[in-house]
Structure 1
C-alpha cells in the first residue's frame, strides 16, 4: 500500500487527542482530532481547528491541504485502534457540507478502508444501520477494527 503524505501528530498520554498543524496559503493552522465517549463501546471522533483552549468543528479553513489533512486524521484513527482495538468509532459530520465530504472520502477510499475496518453506514431519518454501501449517502459512520496491522 502506498504511503501517503500526512502531518506529524502530537498525541496525549491516553491516545484520545491528536494534534497537528495544517500548513498552507492561509498559514499554519493548529488542528485536533478528539475521541470522546459516546455510549456503549462507541467513541465519537471530533475534528476541527484549535481555538484558544478549545476547538471548533464548524470552521472551514480551506488551507489547500485536504488530502494531507484527511490522511493525518486517518493515521490518528489507526493509532487510536492500535491502543483501543475493541472500541468502535463513530464519525458524525456536524453539517451537510461535511456529510457530503465524508461520504465522498469513504467512497473514494472504500477499498482501502475495508482492509482495516468494518464500516456501518447510518441514516437517522430512515432508521438505517447497515454495512457500508458506497452508493448511499449516510448521516454517520461507525468503524470497527478488523486488524492491528498498520505501518506508521
Structure 2
C-alpha cells in the first residue's frame, strides 16, 4: 500500500509520535494502541495536548494534510500488526463524520489490504438502545467483511 506519510518516532511499545506539517504549522501528533483484552487493541490518535499531557482526538487541525496524517496512522498500524501478528486492531472515529473519513481511506486501499489482512466493519444494531455502551468489542451489532457501499460504525483489522 503506497500512501504518503510522515516519519514516525516510537516512544514506547504502543505509543508513536509524528508531526503534522502544514498551513497551521508543525503540530505534534500521537498514535496509541491501547490493549482492550486478549489480543485486541484500540487504535487512537490525535493532537498531543502538552498542558493536559494527553492526546486530544477531538481537535481538527485543519493543517491541510489530512490524507498524509491518515496515511501515517495506517502505515504505523500495519507495522504494529507485523510486529504483533496475533493482534486485532479496533478503530472508530470520535464522531460519525470522522468514522466516515476513515472508511473512505480504507475503501481506497481495500483491494490491496484484503490480500494480507482481514478487514471487517461493524454495523451497530440500531434497534438496541445500548448498542454503543462500553468498549468497542462489547458493542452490539454485526461484524462483517468490509464491502464498499455499506456505512460502518467501527473497523477491525487483523492478519489473515
TM-score higher than 0.5 here?
A: yes
| Equivalent in the alignment of 2:115 | 115
Report whether the alignment pairs 1:137 with 2:151: yes
- Displacement of 1:34 after TM fit? 0.4
| Equivalent in the alignment of 1:9 | 8
- Provide the rounded CA distance (Å) in 2 between the counterparts of 1:92 and 1:71: 16
1:71-86 → structure 2 map (5 Å cutoff): 71-86=71-86
Aligned length: 144
Contact 1:106 1:134 (8 Å CA) reproduced: no
1:84-103 → structure 2 map (5 Å cutoff): 84-103=84-103
Query: Is the partner of 2:80 in helix, strand or coil?
Result: helix
State the superposition RMSD in angstroms.
1.4
| Equivalent in the alignment of 1:149 | none
Contact 1:18 1:33 (8 Å CA) reproduced: yes
- Displacement of 1:116 after TM fit? 2.8
| Equivalent in the alignment of 1:150 | none
- Provide the rounded CA distance (Å) in 2 between the counterparts of 1:58 and 1:115: 32
Identify the match of residue 35 of structure 2 among 37, 53, 57: 37
| Superimposed CA distance per residue, residues 27-84 of structure 1 (whole angstroms, 9 cap, x where no aligned partner) | 1001111000122321000010111111101111111111211111111112211211
TM-score, normalisation: structure 1: 0.88
- Displacement of 1:6 after TM fit? 1.3
Identify the match of residue 20 of structure 1 among 4, 12, 18: 18
TM-score, normalisation: structure 2: 0.84
Any unmatched runs of 5+ in structure 2? 127-140
Any unmatched runs of 5+ in structure 1? 147-152
- Provide the rounded CA distance (Å) in 2 between the counterparts of 1:78 and 1:117: 9
